[in-house]
Structure 1
């Protein structure tokens, strides 16, 4: 016999179709929320328990005669065994959609360079939610870094959807039991409207109608202004405004300021205020109604007819509903009769897109530690802004490598336009990460910390009086260091350069050492002075040169002293000059106020390219322990303004290649290489105290 009227049935996986009789049910649904279906069933099987029913698929079917009007499918999340009358056990089932499972999973994780659809799909896959559909027509750009921070998967997803202006609902199939979880960002994608009349006095057996319909308009915010900042474009205004499309006569002065706006690009900057504005005006114009139709659920559109207020006879969109059904006669042996179905719903104009309200965003309580990461074998890994990547301690999904997180800014003690302080945290170092405005999507490194693997320089607490800045050679074992020792009596500033050290001073430099100063150069040393150099020594200066000493003067050279000693040692002691050379490019002057003594224990050689003139105001004495030799390339002149005396202890030889001449007044003696000896004088006297001997083959004596 065919069924007539309205009735309800329920099927539970693992149980026979006749196991349960539906006594009543209550279904609550709205956009962007999980539906809740409470079913009161009766069964002659009194032994069913949680193992039989929890996590099982449940399908509630609403029939009109033998035609199914609607199927609601979910899973049993709660079981309550109620009263027992000796024959029948009453059960109460709480049913949720499969997506409800996501509300039981709380997690910490992050997503990088992914758009909203990719993130949603990952969450759905993790929770084994199938039968979904994305109806997205608006732009939803990738997010650089998106963090689920201590939220359930459901809370995280709802928060992202609200930011992106996406609503979701369950679409129930009229034929078959298929049920889709729909994600949409425009009302355009909703199904076509079906017609339903207004009938304030329906009969129990009347066709589907709306028996009560009320309309409400109210004042809501008129526009939203949103502001945010990104360090990549610090001069970017980052300010966007969106005004309501239809104010229905209200004033436009009601502003909502939103900061921070949670956007870093133009697209999100334009869209987020729009979604926020439309969400704030979800209830600017609403309608509530009561119907006996099961087809009015969130995500459906209907055309109202026959309402006495003609302006209400138009297309509407259901955004929430409460469906309640009673079937008391379903209990075996019950004398009750009469099946009832009541649908209380809320609607908005059909062409308006409903937006979810902003969801609370988790705030990080405070800074937390993390470890700097990078590619294998790399010690310093950063981008052009000096940002680094880290491995968060709560991250279970990413390896500690170059993709462990987004690029994270590093706070520096000083940051100017091309100047300031810069120290890049290195791979493996522990850093302290804080979050701007407590937002987990915006980490920033505020400090660094030593740990068991990374000890401090020095050896604490023994070196506790030292303040140290020490680097480490990139891919090496060396280091550069600046250290301050503050121990009383041992105060010190220590500088260590692993390789080169360069100083550039654009103006003056003054150095004051109140006690001793020692400079030790193990290689070469050069001092280049473009202008003048003055060195003043109040005491003694000792200069020891192991090799050559060359002094080159481009113009005049003046050396003033009271007493000057120059000592050259051939070999041996600490103060050794193997060669001593003075070089003057033009004029050189060595001047002494007092005495000057030169000691040379080896040989001495002077080489002068031009003329050498020695002027001695007093006497000049030259003593040689052995031979004294003077060699002249052309002429040799000896001039004495007074007397000249020459004493030879042994033999004296005077030899000339051509001639020898001696002159005193009008007297001369000439010797030539042809054998001539000529004496010329006014008077010539030859005295021989013993004998005068003249031997010649021929002797001529002539008288003038």
Structure 2
């Protein structure tokens, strides 16, 4: 038997567990280990200790090291025991990490049995569940940000060695996933795998990230040899090699849609098998969330393109084509190594086996044994981790529209009409107006520069939905009211349908039965409105009915083909819009009256009215062929103004009445015409009466004629009658007459001259002095001023022009510096045509 000292120094297990800041002796009893590429490892270690009640705080979250030592030689161990010195241990592998779980299993009189779980520090990320967004970062940058900022990793704790440069993504959303799950998914989606190594100097675990097969660990070679019973004779070897094969997908096709380039071809098509006949079928994947198709013919497609994702997916399928299994006693074997088997190994192992997972175990009474899983090494196919399922965003999540301007009056959108939003779950601080990528808004109607878009202002609550439930593809589903932004239709006005903008531009449709109305209004110009139906004021009290178009500013009604204003009823809009029957009837009646009076005037040798223009106007309005304005009022039309009114026409003004035409003026009535005034009364005559003042009738450059069928009476009730002629005065009746000419009075009678007077006196000669009125002589003169069309302020100075008169004659002139012509002799009042002559330049 061994003495007591030797018993105390002898370690039944050659594997050592060391927990930092722990002073209790730990004697390893058994352990199991699970390691996978792109997954944190897990070692479950049973140990005994004379410390019968180790507290959880002494173990949990403590850094620890588990060392796998080579089995010591039996004689060396016995010699070490007899000499009271511990045997020399040879470390085959050291695993660093942190204690994640701790159990107290049993207690005896001498010791207690415990169990701990050792994991890498990366495994603790599974305890951090987050809702966050990451903008304008590549996947490696996102992973590094999480490791450094959220979990305190430093440069010595992780290493990126990548063959590709990955693009920055506009937005990546983490929604409810723990950090480990999130970064593992992101890395796996783009084919980055990771493994763990130990830093012997810092005594820490290091996570290493790679994206190609060039960074497998090469140089591991083990012989093929079956162990004998419980003894492996101290030589590491492999045995129990098996391989499993299956038919996998022959090719992969991807397709996505990028609304930013809606016409772009977004298909990717990849076949990595190089003609392998043991593959079959096409795997078609839609919406892998890429922006470009990529080059499907290039083995190095643009990262995160359609061809890139198609290749990754095919490599994942091919990873499952052949799976290799085996057993070994090598403690140094770990995931990420390429294993070469010496000996007569199966064909599947000949090219090398890439270890993807190991399961190890050992006890005090059982030797160390590892079961491994591997895939054949290939220059064309790399190990690609299978990504976990991306969260499916069911329903919507709340967010608010943002802007770069505080209390922005207008919406903050980009050239494509997109918005930025602040997600309600997001706790990070962002620059104002940069809280997300530009997000599209779903609309009920959209097309090529047409649609329905009511811009959203900063602070508006919106519901964010996601294309295909993908958290990285958000869009605004709709906007909502909240306690801060109250609804404009509530119980107070629930009968109304209202579209109102922030500037109070409004479309209101009231459905209250019997009081239906529509209001279209804007605040500009005081208030500009179109009110239809039951018209109400702000207190909902009736103020009218029908329709009202009003503004406190300028107003204009313009119709290029014509306007028809009428009171002719059209119940329930049963007739055509331009139903002019009543108007045409009235125009025809007016034309009939005009034609009757024209014939009467012609019969009486008066100058008749030319009804051609009236006929043409009636035809144009009734035929709806020319632009015009027609007005019809069943009970009359009133045009009223407290100031002045003007009726002007380039051609003719026609006034026709079947009864009377009355013109009244408090001051004066003036009529000026260019050629002639013709007054004709058919039955009751013409009265020209001045209650006060002078009545003056002149023919300044012509004759005057007064004729009556019956008596002609000239009377001055309180004054005298003066008849004055410059050359001769002749009174005739029945062949007799009196001629006054050149100062001589001549009495003419075919029969006799009767003079009845008691006295006839003859006196000396005398004469009557009379002043003859004078009339201005000469022609009209005019002056024209030329200016740029539409800009009267910009005169055309020193420019030649030509006047064309109605008779075809022409006259040329030149303007002065102010654009005015000299005085031009006009022989008539007719309008003339003015043409500006082109400028002449000397070469």
Match of 2:739 in 1: 669
Q: Write the distance in 1 (CA, Å) between the matches of 2:724 and 2:261.
A: 98
Q: 1:70 deviation in Å?
A: 1.4
Q: Write the distance in 2 (CA, Å) between the matches of 1:538 and 1:285.
A: 90
Deviations 1:357-382 (A, max 9, x none): 13111112312332211122323012
Instruction: Classify 1:118/1:480 alpha carbon distance in 2 versus 1 (closer, same or farther; 3 Å).
Output: same
Instruction: Classify 1:465/1:166 alpha carbon distance in 2 versus 1 (closer, same or farther; 3 Å).
Output: same
Q: Write the distance in 2 (CA, Å) between the matches of 1:175 and 1:499.
A: 77
Q: 1:245 deviation in Å?
A: 2.1
The reply on whether 1:385 has 2:416 as its aligned counterpart is yes
Q: Write the distance in 2 (CA, Å) between the matches of 1:272 and 1:531.
A: 61
Question: Alignment partner for residue 444 of structure 1, among 475, 479, 482?
Answer: 475
Q: 1:535 deviation in Å?
A: 5.0
8 A Cα contact 1:228 1:259, kept in partner = yes
3-state DSSP of counterpart to 1:591: coil
What TM-score comes out, normalization by structure 1 length? 0.83
Moved more, 164-173 or 521-530: 521-530
Q: How does 1:323-472 map to 2 (within 5 A)?
A: 323-327=360-364, 340-351=367-378, 352-377=381-406, 378=408, 379-399=410-430, 401-457=432-488, 460-472=490-502
Question: Alignment partner for residue 129 of structure 1, among 153, 156, 159?
Answer: 153
Match of 1:593 in 2: 658
Match of 1:334 in 2: none
8 A Cα contact 1:390 1:400, kept in partner = no
8 A Cα contact 2:37 2:356, kept in partner = yes
Match of 2:513 in 1: 488
Deviations 1:168-214 (A, max 9, x none): 11123578735320111111112332332222347634333224433
Q: Write the distance in 2 (CA, Å) between the matches of 1:581 and 1:310.
A: 109
Which has more helix, going by share of residues? 2
3-state DSSP of counterpart to 1:262: coil
Deviations 1:489-510 (A, max 9, x none): 211111112338999xxxxxxx
Q: Write the distance in 1 (CA, Å) between the matches of 2:637 and 2:517.
A: 39
Larger RCO (CA within 8 A; separation ≥ 6): 1
The reply on whether 1:105 has 2:170 as its aligned counterpart is no
Q: How does 1:63-212 map to 2 (within 5 A)?
A: 63-64=69-70, 65-125=88-148, 126-130=150-154, 131-172=157-198, 177-201=203-227, 204-212=232-240
Match of 1:316 in 2: 353
Instruction: Classify 1:142/1:523 alpha carbon distance in 2 versus 1 (closer, same or farther; 3 Å).
Output: closer
Match of 2:323 in 1: 286
3-state DSSP of counterpart to 2:679: coil
3-state DSSP of counterpart to 2:716: coil
Q: Write the distance in 2 (CA, Å) between the matches of 1:128 and 1:447.
A: 40
Moved more, 65-74 or 256-265: 256-265
The reply on whether 1:679 has 2:752 as its aligned counterpart is no
Instruction: Classify 1:234/1:502 alpha carbon distance in 2 versus 1 (closer, same or farther; 3 Å).
Output: farther
Q: How does 1:245-284 map to 2 (within 5 A)?
A: 245=273, 249-250=277-278, 252-266=279-293, 267-284=304-321
Q: 1:104 deviation in Å?
A: 0.6
Match of 2:253 in 1: 225
Q: Write the distance in 2 (CA, Å) between the matches of 1:567 and 1:344.
A: 106
Unaligned runs of 5+ in 2: 1-5, 71-87, 294-303, 536-543, 570-581, 584-611, 619-630, 767-843
Q: Write the distance in 2 (CA, Å) between the matches of 1:610 and 1:248.
A: 107
The reply on whether 1:12 has 2:19 as its aligned counterpart is yes
Match of 2:242 in 1: 214
Question: Alignment partner for residue 629 of structure 1, among 680, 695, 717?
Answer: 695
Unaligned runs of 5+ in 1: 329-338, 474-478, 504-510, 542-554, 569-573, 699-704
Match of 1:609 in 2: 674
8 A Cα contact 1:373 1:400, kept in partner = no
8 A Cα contact 2:97 2:204, kept in partner = no
3-state DSSP of counterpart to 2:468: helix
Q: Write the distance in 2 (CA, Å) between the matches of 1:233 and 1:270.
A: 17
What TM-score comes out, normalization by structure 2 length? 0.70
Q: 1:324 deviation in Å?
A: 2.3
